[in-house]
Chains A and B, each alone.
Chain A
Amino acid sequence: MAEYLIRNGFVYDPVLGIDGDKKDIAVKDGKIVETTALSKPTEINAAGMTVMAAGVDVHAHVAGPKVCVGRNFRPEDKLFNSTPQAGIKRMEGGFSVPTTLRTGYNYARMGYGFVMEAAMPPLFARHVHEEIRDTPIIDEAALPVFGNNWFVLEYLKNKEIENTAAYIAWLLRVTKGFGIKNVNPGGTEAWGWGMNCETVNDVVPYFEITPAEIIRGLIEANEYLGLPHCMHVHGNSLGEPGNYTVTLDTLKQAEGYTAKNDFGRDTVLHHTHLQFHSYGGTSYSSKGFESKSKEVMDYVNKQDNITFDLGVVTLDETTTMTADGPFEHHLSHMNHLKWANVDVELETAAGVVPFIYNPKSYIAGAQWAVGIELGLYAKDMMKTYITTDHPNAGPFTRYPRVIKWLMSRAAREHMLEKELKYGDSIRNTCYIGEIDRELTLFEIAQMTRAGPAKVLGLSHMFGSLRPGCEGDVAIYPYNPEAIDPSRDPELIERAFSTAQYLIKGGEMVVKEGDIVSNGSKRTFWVDCTTSENPQVQRDISEKFKRYYSVTEANYEVSGHHYVPNPYVIEVDASQ
């Protein structure tokens, strides 16, 4: 394999505490090595450029059934943006729900190397894996959803953590999943009857359990197993004015728990797209709505066992999609656009609705403000991650724009003054106008690589340029000595949109901004061993016999064509 020596770049590596020092980085046999280990490297002159470990995305919807619903039911999303095949690069299309090919290429262009598909319906695991397989370059994994799963609801109602854990371990193995996702706990099962759970104390119809109990039970099962990632929750009442109290109640469920695992993870609850969950007030109008980002962050900043991602609204026309079925139904009644829904037997649901975050409307601008505020109020940037809940709040290709807003007050002022129609109302009802903070490149590196790698339990591989880590290096055309974020914020966005080079797994895949290789992507999954559990085995067989529409033997994802290049993380929870 090729050897690379990346010379003279400004290096940012929060794990090693390197903050823009000029350093050489060496890559050999797919890994980062000491520069002394190279014999005949290809040299890359990174002088005047920024060098970081490749990006790690903790939460995006990039592969699987609901993403494909979004693609197929929105031909308009591909209008005027398709690009032809060129060299080894295949045809691309799509904006908010790009094809798998464009998804891989665009992440690579932004210097990303690992992406977590944030919601895998277990019954559709094959579909998720086929799309992951056909997404070039980037390593990926997927989180199966558990928060409305009948096994989990029944076990947790009886406080059977061990059985819950055994079931989870089994499901991760048969679906080739990575960890525990928990979307609108209990509410999506209620949606089976057209209902919802709006607070953590609403009782799930028939199953007689509350969202709070589900959240705690899944945290306990997660730590019982010692999985690499923590319980990853999307709380109840997403998007509702006044929901920040529900959010605080959700976050409080983590109190008293500590992380138990061998992967260097020290938190037990990840709350995703916190922006959608930090609203005050009673309506979406400028008279009825207010940001509660500060109140939420006051709590988060005091905790040491919670992480979150932002979910910043990027003011685009996009496609919303979530396992929060009742929310999407609600949304379709607000914007009267097309609505797709899929309820999945015994497991979950999903809804998809196109959405236009119109900068000329008050509420879209206010939502934008809330997301940015969360990032600016955060104290521990290793626990605060940049996302757009792609494609819900905006496409992932806007991360560079989010970085610009976080790094430059001038860019935010420009939004409030020039781009948003209701800038003044937004200043009055949100905090954004009062905040001076401008994040540094070191903090951005925490939020986009070191931090996400850590919470995913993958810090031994990703997020740092420490020798021994994967040979994943991004080089951006950004000269921190020459660029002043307050004067040239656009240069931030441009630089992070188009990495000059990306080395992925030791191989050059982006060269001078062009895709030059389809890489050798891997699918990560967690194989967790537990002790024999005959009761859970019996329950599984029983449910398949009576309630599933497929047989137990046809449920497991196996076969080379689904996961041709696996990277299996083994966890021993049998003790």
Chain B
Amino acid sequence: MAKLVTDVVCPFCGTLCDDLEVSVTDDGKKILDVYNACAIGAEKFLHSQASDRITRPRMQDEDGNWKDVSYDEAVEYTAKILADAKKPLMYGWSSTNCESQAVGTQIGEVTGAIMDNTATVCHGTTLIAVQDVGIPSCTLGEVVNRADRIVFWGCNPAHAHPRHMSRYSIYPRGFFTGKGQKSRKLVVIDPRCTDTSKLADYHLQIEQGRDYELFDAFRVAFKGEKLPDTVAGIPKKTIYEVAETMKSGRFGIIFFGMGVTQSLSKNHNIDAAISVTRDLNDYSKWSIMPMRGHYNVTGSGEVWGWLHGFPFALDLSRGFARYNPGDTTSNDLLRRDEVDAVFVLGSDPGAHFPFGSVKKIWGLPSVCIDPHITPTSAVCKLHVPVAFVGVETGGCAYRMDNVPIECRKVVEPPEGMLTDEEFLKKVLTRVKELKGA
């Protein structure tokens, strides 16, 4: 017999779908099937049940031989490397719940850590741009109900946020958009012909890295001023035409992704994108939204925002909060040998940081808290497996539009496993003792 858990929240991407259904065995121990999720979301639930899953902390020696340790020993090692360090880096925080983020921040306060989340390699440059020019935005339901113009710029939701288009952006029929896709015009700007661009009314195959120029060209075109024959590989006729399409909508939105945030010009690209949106509000109603990657990277920026005022690159090492991207960001710190211990939770820098940074982690006292075996766990001295947030424990997560949703627990974690929050609370208690705080 099986029971069905409904309204389940998918803890994978920033789309944070909350309409999944998961059938589980009557004893609540095993997931049988996952409905409504995309392939990635389904795999996240199903793989949590893998028979070869690591369920106890383990440490490796110099030669890479692993041995199991107890959670108490893991707490002790973690607390000690953080307490002993002059400037520990506590990185990740994007695949966990807000409650864990809040406890982790207290550990950072006590140990004088640098706290950084995955925005640092994803939408950190967006956060910088927002500090320069602001951001007119909306919730995803507004897009459902009102939007008749959708722009995807430097993002490929068909692959990175698979249900975004059907739930929020291209297909849904909303209050003022009863005809669904037919009531919308879709513009895609991408140097490749992607599975998203194939759906577009206009695909502008921009020369890679020339986004800033094209954004600016649109600002020129809105005003009806003169353009050169081509900008960023796009003929001016197309630019004028698309500019007109954008202006003539009733409600439009630009979704953008790492194509813009990670290319040269970085935050300046986003400045320009937001300025395009500001300009468009002189003609009709427009919003812009970053396609946030991890399901709760947004939440960690909010938690740090309310506790310390900065959404990433939070430096607590001087006893109060500082922020200075380029200085207090993970990759810069690692490359410059400025941190002396590394703590990772809810992310995999081993896979997603430039290799030079990964090598630095390997050379330092280090702990990786992650349910999976990952390149990060492979280079850290201690690996602490924990329960899956959103599968084996609940907690709050923030969708890409900052809407907070409570994740659901659908099954019990394996016997004796701790959650992120439980593990962190033990570490907090111990670092307080060690620091005499």
Contacts and interface: CB of A to CB of B under 8 A. Distances in A.
A196 B130 CA distance: 25
B307 A554 contact: no
Nearest to A68: B305
A550 B398 CA distance: 12
A467 B253 CA distance: 57
A565 interface: no
B301 A130 contact: no
A460 interface: no
A155 interface: no
A130 B98 contact: yes
A288 interface: no
Contacts of B203: none
Given A91-B316, A99-B306, A344 B404 contact: no
Contacts of A339: 133-134, 136, 278
Contacts, number: 190
Given A65-B402, A339-B134, A549 B139 contact: yes
Nearest to B174: A547
Interface stretch (B88-96, B213-221, B317-325, B350-358): B317-325
Contacts of B109: 85, 90-91
Contacts of B281: 194, 329
Contacts of A562: 396
A342 B99 CA distance: 25
Nearest to B8: A554
A346 interface: yes
A123 B406 CA distance: 12
Interface in A48-73: 63, 65, 67-68, 71-73
Contacts of A94: 309
Q: How many interface residues does chain B have, given as a range?
A: 35 or more
A562 B138 CA distance: 24
B183 interface: no
Contacts of A550: 18, 141, 403, 405
A346 B281 CA distance: 20
A83 B139 contact: no
Interface string B158-183: 00000000011000001110000000
B306 A551 contact: no
B145 A547 contact: yes
Nearest to A342: B137
Interface in A77-136: 77-78, 82-85, 90-94, 97, 99-101, 123-124, 126-127, 130-131, 134
B321 A549 contact: no
B130 A192 contact: no
Nearest to A555: B405
A49 B146 CA distance: 59
B402 A71 contact: no
Interface in A421-460: none
A309 to B, nearest CB: 25
A193 B6 CA distance: 35
A74 B131 contact: yes
Contacts of A134: 102, 306-307
A482 interface: no
B135 interface: yes
B170 to A, nearest CB: 14
Contacts of A342: 137-139, 402
Nearest to B437: A85
Interface in B276-317: 278, 281, 284-285, 287, 301-303, 305-311, 316
Contact of A77 (B6, B309, B316, B404): B309
A83 B251 CA distance: 44
A360 interface: no
B287 A72 contact: no
A192 B134 contact: no
Given A126-B406, A551-B18, A340 B320 contact: no
A344 B404 CA distance: 13
A74 B134 CA distance: 9
B278 A123 contact: no
B146 A551 contact: no
A32 interface: no
B346 to A, nearest CB: 17
A103 B101 CA distance: 20
A193 B251 contact: yes
Interface string A159-199: 00000000000000000000000000000000111100000
A78 B109 CA distance: 17
A534 interface: no
B412 interface: no
B127 interface: yes
B137 A559 contact: no
Nearest to B405: A554
Contacts of B301: 72
B422 to A, nearest CB: 13
Interface centre among A130, A193, A549 (most CB of B within 10 A): A549
A78 B7 CA distance: 40
Contact of A73 (B131, B316, B394, B396): B131
Given A192-B146, A193-B285, A338 B140 contact: no
B433 to A, nearest CB: 16
A19 interface: no
Nearest to A67: B306
Contacts of B302: 68, 72, 127
A75 interface: yes
A340 B106 CA distance: 29
A192 B137 contact: no
A338 B278 CA distance: 10
Interface string B319-363: 111110000000000000000000000000000000000000000
A80 B18 CA distance: 42
A91 B437 CA distance: 13
Contacts of B175: 150, 546-547
B290 to A, nearest CB: 13
B254 interface: no
Contact of B321 (A78, A123, A150, A349): A78
Interface string A386-412: 000000000000000000000000000
A145 interface: no
A14 B109 CA distance: 43
Residue of A83, A340, A342, A562 with most chain B CB atoms under a 10 A cut-off? A342
Given A342-B138, A553-B7, 4 more contacts: A134-B307, A338-B132, A343-B139, A343-B142
6 contacts: A67-B306, A72-B301, A73-B130, A91-B316, A338-B132, A344-B142
Interface of A: 63, 65, 67-68, 71-75, 77-78, 82-85, 90-94, 97, 99-101, 123-124, 126-127, 130-131, 134, 150, 191-194, 206, 329, 332, 337-346, 349, 352-353, 546-551, 553-554, 558-559, 561-562
